[in-house]
């Protein structure tokens, strides 16, 4: 038999996992007790490497950019790319919600009670970017704070020059060793993915999914359109790459995102494929990807757009055009504020609903199937980061 590539092996793990999960549906407890720990092991392994990987590669990446002006330009382009693609994702979500009407004909369980997430003030958000203690930022794995500190350190190493060379070499070595660890962990990925998907399928049997099938289908069509049209066009025109080739190359990260439901847990793999398969230099990928995993979430934005309409439809509320515009704005912001961990998008959805006066109770209904929605949206979140890195890399080169 021909030796399978990593992406194929992960896919096989996923498919076998789905089958085993279906078989174990009558005994979800068995899946959770005996199979899930192998998935948790995979999650722990990749989480183990996130902080050293991001810190070291971002310091090296920043210190390798020839001048600060270029760094600033990449920064501005990155933010513009993130905002535009995210807003577009919400629009696609709204279109799908209007066309497919996923919430029509549904009624709500009565015991639902949910309170809204309070959005933090802009000043707090900005102040919070700067860690008062970088070691604590690392202990808490606070990505944005680690990013800010690493950029400072990288710039300072460049400015100091010769005497800081030893630091540069240290972080360079740490980054390389971290990449090696990621590669080693990836050997285990097919088993990890298998063990993560089995309990998910066993727990969320057809019984749970059927009532909300329309919402699930609407979301997945929306995600497919965003990937198939928006990303494909970006990859082809600005990224100068064949979209088919692109998706094949990044599929290991997409599959791991799909099963872990966490952009931040997928980050080491996202960085690995972006650098090794897409050939994006560290100076761009090590800056854009940790940032993207934290703030760039097109899948989550699209999901929040659809879900807002879904809730409106359940309660028979019709949303005006200007209310839908408000949703574009708040869902874009809410997705930026969403942490790259499982289920975070559902909590931030409360913010979107509040902004247009929709009842919070709709969330209780969505919560039952959120894991299934989370898999798809996280997959798109991570894909968007990789498209961004490729696009910025190619436009910088040109």
**Helix, strand, or coil here: 107?**
coil
Indicate the residue among 199 and 340 with the shorter CB distance to ligand ASP: 340
282 binds ligand ASP, rule: CB under 6 A: no
Cα 313 from Cα 307, distance rounded (Å): 10
Instruction: Write b or e for each residue in 284-317: b if 16 or more Cβ atoms lie within 10 A of its Cβ, otherwise e.
Output: bbbbbbbbbbbbbbbbbbbbbbbbbbbbbbbeee
Q: Which long-range contacts (CB under 8 A, 24 or more apart) does 201-206 make?
A: 201/17, 201/18, 201/20, 201/21, 201/22, 201/24, 201/25, 202/21, 202/22, 202/24, 202/25, 202/27, 202/28, 202/30, 202/31, 202/32, 203/28, 203/31, 203/32, 203/371, 204/369, 204/371, 204/372, 205/25
What is the Cβ-side half-sphere exposure of residue 246, based on CA atoms within 13 angstroms? Answer: 25
Indicate the residue among 311 and 344 with the shorter CB distance to ligand ASP: 344
62 binds ligand ASP, rule: CB under 6 A: no
Hey, which residues between 290 and 349 contact ligand ASP (CB under 6 A)?
A: 297, 300, 338, 340-345
- Rg of the chain (C-alpha set): 21
Residues 118-157 as x/- pattern, contact with ligand ASP by CB under 6 A: ----------------------------------------
Compute the least distance from the CB of residue 199 to ligand ASP, in Å: 17
Indicate the residue among 277 and 385 with the shorter CB distance to ligand ASP: 385
Hey, which residues between 194 and 223 contact ligand ASP (CB under 6 A)?
A: none
86 binds ligand ASP, rule: CB under 6 A: no
Indicate the residue among 71 and 309 with the shorter CB distance to ligand ASP: 309
Compute the least distance from the CB of residue 106 to ligand ASP, in Å: 22
Cβ-proximal residue to ligand ASP, closest one = 345
Cα 238 from Cα 240, distance rounded (Å): 6
Indicate the residue among 119 and 281 with the shorter CB distance to ligand ASP: 119
Compute the least distance from the CB of residue 257 to ligand ASP, in Å: 7
Indicate the residue among 195 and 366 with the shorter CB distance to ligand ASP: 366
Compute the least distance from the CB of residue 134 to ligand ASP, in Å: 24
Burial of 209 (0-12, 13-18, 19+ CB in 10 A): middle
Cα 304 from Cα 90, distance rounded (Å): 7
Indicate the residue among 85 and 338 with the shorter CB distance to ligand ASP: 338
Indicate the residue among 154 and 345 with the shorter CB distance to ligand ASP: 345
Q: Which stretch binds ligand ASP (CB under 6 A): 176-184, 214-222, 260-268, 325-333?
A: 260-268
Compute the least distance from the CB of residue 264 to ligand ASP, in Å: 6
Compute the least distance from the CB of residue 263 to ligand ASP, in Å: 3
270 binds ligand ASP, rule: CB under 6 A: no
Q: Which stretch binds ligand ASP (CB under 6 A): 36-44, 92-100, 354-362, 372-380?
A: 372-380
If phi > 0 it is left, if psi is from -120 to 50 it is alpha, else beta; for residue 242 that is: beta
- Which residues are within 8 A (CB) of 374 and not within 5 positions of it... i.e. 6 or more apart? 261, 342, 343, 345, 346
377 binds ligand ASP, rule: CB under 6 A: yes
381 binds ligand ASP, rule: CB under 6 A: yes
What Cα–Cα distance (Å) separates residue 70 from each residue in 40, 65, 283, 348? 40, 7, 11, 34
Q: What is the CA 59 to chain-centroid distance, rounded?
A: 23
Cα 83 from Cα 121, distance rounded (Å): 19
Q: Which stretch binds ligand ASP (CB under 6 A): 14-22, 44-52, 306-314, 373-381?
A: 373-381
262 binds ligand ASP, rule: CB under 6 A: yes
The site for ligand ASP, by CB under 6 A, has a size of 16
Q: By C-alpha distance, which of 381, 293, 395 is closest to 58?
A: 293
Q: Which stretch binds ligand ASP (CB under 6 A): 96-104, 257-265, 281-289, 390-398?
A: 257-265
The site for ligand ASP (CB under 6 A) is made up of: 261-263, 297, 300, 338, 340-345, 374, 377-378, 381
């Amino acid at each position: 038999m021909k030796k399978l590539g990593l992406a194929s092996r992960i896919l096989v793990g996923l498919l076998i996992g789905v089958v085993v999960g279906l078989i174990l549906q009558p005994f979800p407890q068995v899946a959770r007790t005996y199979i899930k720990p192998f998935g948790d092991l995979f999650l722990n392994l990749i989480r183990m490497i996130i902080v050293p990987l991001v810190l070291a590669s971002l310091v090296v990446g920043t210190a390798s950019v020839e001048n600060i002006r270029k760094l600033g330009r990449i920064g501005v382009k990155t933010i513009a790319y993130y905002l535009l693609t995210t807003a577009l994702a919400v629009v696609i979500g709204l279109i799908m919600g209007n066309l497919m009407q996923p919430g029509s004909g549904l009624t709500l369980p009565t015991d639902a009670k949910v309170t809204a997430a309070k959005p933090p003030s802009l000043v707090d958000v900005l102040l919070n970017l700067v860690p008062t203690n970088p070691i604590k930022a690392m202990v808490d794995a606070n990505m944005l704070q680690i990013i800010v500190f690493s950029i400072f350190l990288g710039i300072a190493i460049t400015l100091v020059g010769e005497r800081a060379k030893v630091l540069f070499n240290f972080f360079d070595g740490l980054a390389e060793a971290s990449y090696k660890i990621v590669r080693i962990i990836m050997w285990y990925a097919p088993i990890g993915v298998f063990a993560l998907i089995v309990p998910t399928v066993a727990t969320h049997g057809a019984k749970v999914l059927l009532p909300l099938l329309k919402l699930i289908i609407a979301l997945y069509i929306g995600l497919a359109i965003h990937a198939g049209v928006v990303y494909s066009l970006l990859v082809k025109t600005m990224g100068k790459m064949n979209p088919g080739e692109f998706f094949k190359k990044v599929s290991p990260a997409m599959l791991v995102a799909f099963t872990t439901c966490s952009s931040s847990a997928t980050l080491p793999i996202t960085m690995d494929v972006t650098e090794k398969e897409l050939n994006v230099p560290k100076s761009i990928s090590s800056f854009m990807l940790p940032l993207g995993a934290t703030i760039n979430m097109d899948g989550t934005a699209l999901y929040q757009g659809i879900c807002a309409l879904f809730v409106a439809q359940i309660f028979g509320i019709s949303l005006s055009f200007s209310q839908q515009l408000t949703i574009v704005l708040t869902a874009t912001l809410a997705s930026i504020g969403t942490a790259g961990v499982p289920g975070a998008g559902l909590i931030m959805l409360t913010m979107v609903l509040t902004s247009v006066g929709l009842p919070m109770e709709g969330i209780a209904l969505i919560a039952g199937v959120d894991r299934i929605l989370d898999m798809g949206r996280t997959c798109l979140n991570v894909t968007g980061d990789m498209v961004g890195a490729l696009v910025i890399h190619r436009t910088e080169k040109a």
